[in-house]
Chains A and B, each alone.
Chain A
Amino acid sequence: EIVLTQSPTTMTASPGEKVTITCRASSSVSYMHWYQQKPGASPKPWIYETSKLASGVPDRFSGSGSGTSYSLTINNMEAEDAATYYCQQWNYPYTFGAGTKLELK
C-alpha cells in the first residue's frame, strides 16, 4: 500500500498570500489527484492528473509534481479557499493523504 504524507497538517494564510501544500508518496506514482472538502460537505474533485484543474476551480490554484513528491499551490489566498485538502493516488489500493486544513488568518 502506498502511504501519502501531507504537510503541513494545518496552516493559516492571509488573503493574498501564496500557499503550498505538499504530498509525498512512499513509492513512485504516475500522478496525483486532489480534493477539497469544507465542513459538512462532500469532497469535491479539485485537481486531477497532478496539474489539471477540475471544472469550476479558480486558476489561482495549480498542481505539480512527479514520482514521490507532489504539491498544490494557491496564488493569492482568498477566504473561500479555506478548507481541507486531500491528495489521493491512483494505484490499488487507492489511498488518501491525511489532509491539510487550511484556515484564513
Chain B
Amino acid sequence: EVQLVESGGGLVQPGRSLKLSCVASGFTFSNYGMNWIRQAPGKGLEWVAYISSGSSYIYYAETVKGRFTISRDNAKNTLYLQMTSLRSEDTALYYCARRGTTTGFDYWGQGVMVTVSS
C-alpha cells in the first residue's frame, strides 16, 4: 500500500523558516517525481514545487520561488520542503503528492499544517 506521511508543520513567525518532510512507503520512491501542493484554509489547491526522481529537474511556483527549496533523499525514501522567509499567505495545509506517469497526482499524503503568524 502506498503511503505518504508528512511532518514538520507548526506555528512559525513571519520571516522565519520551517522544514517539512514526507516519508514514502509502499512503492519504489526513487522511480517517481514528487510534489508539494498546498491548500490555504477554506481555499483551493495550489501546486508549490516538483522534483524529478533523480533530482535533476526541479520546478517551483512563482509564489515561492527563491524562498522554498524542494529536495529528496532516495536512500531514506523522504521528500523535503525547506521554507524560508515565511509569510502569512504561506499559511496552508501542505500535501506531499506523487506524480504519476500520465495519471496526474496519483497518491497524496494526509497533509501537514503550517501556520505563519506573530
A residues touching B (Cβ–Cβ < 8 Å)? 1, 33, 35, 37, 42-45, 48-49, 52, 54, 86, 88, 90, 92-99
Contact = CB atoms under 8 A, between A and B. Distances in A.
Interface string B103-114: 111101111000
B102 A42 contact: no
For chain B, the bracket of interface size reads: 20 to 34
Given A42-B109, A45-B105, A95-B47, 8 more contacts: A1-B62, A42-B111, A45-B100, A48-B100, A49-B102, A88-B45, A93-B47, A98-B44
A45 B44 contact: no
B47 A90 contact: no
Q: Which of A33, A43, A95, A97 has the most CB of B within 10 A?
A: A43
B102 A96 contact: no
Given A43-B108, A44-B108, A86-B44, A94 B50 contact: yes
B44 A97 contact: yes
A75 B105 CA distance: 25
B68 interface: no
B95 A94 contact: no
B109 A93 contact: no
B11 interface: no
Contacts of A96: 44-47
